[in-house]
Amino acid sequence: MLPINDHLSLRESELTYRRSRSSGPGGQNVNKVETRVTVLFDVNASPSLTAEDKTLVHSRLPTRIDKQGILRVVSQKHRTQAANREAARERLAELLADAIERRPPRKRTRKPAASDRRRLEDKRRRSALKRLRQPPD
């Protein structure tokens, strides 16, 4: 199980792992060992997510989800496949937790009158300064 937040965990069967050769650290090992790990998570087919959660994930992570609804997370910063696998899982959990977090709607507020007064006073001051630079008539 991959814990996302207090109320949600993903089953290991919902995650797909792919390995490939990494371009990161590893010396000569880079050319022969597949240390990069890609975690694939099918958002649309997930039984763990509610319909509302799926909508939130699609709207908040549009660049990470392809047309088929698969969320992709890649890690290649470590030298071992196991470390990259764990890093990718943690990143997936962070992304999903942030995406499904319920945020309160923003309350519109009025612009303070003091900010308008400051702006106009700054304009007057600047105008006066520029007027003083001009040659006298």
What residues does each domain of the chain span? Answer: 2-100
Strand 2-3 to 9-10 pairing: antiparallel
Highest mean predicted confidence (pLDDT) among 20-29, 82-91, 122-131: 122-131
> How far is residue 39's CA from residue 26's CA, in Å, rounded to a whole number?
21
DSSP secondary structure string for all residues of 63-113: TTB-TT-EEEEEE-SSSSHHHHHHHHHHHHHHHHHHHH---PPPPP-PPPH
Q: pTM for the whole thing?
A: 0.70
Would you say residue 132 has pLDDT above 90? yes
- Tens digits of per-residue pLDDT, 43-91? 888 888 889 988 988 999 899 898 888 999 998 888 888 899 899 999 9
Among residues 16, 95, 105, the alpha carbon closest in space to that of 53 is found at 95
The topology under which CATH files domain 2-100 is Double Stranded RNA Binding Domain (3.30.160)
Q: How far apart are CA 85 and CA 77, in angstroms?
A: 10
Q: What are phi and psi of 111, to 5 degrees?
A: -75, 130
- Contact call for residues 14 and 48 (beta carbons, < 8 A): yes
Q: Is 79 exposed, middle or buried (0-12, 13-18, 19+ CB in 10 A)?
A: middle
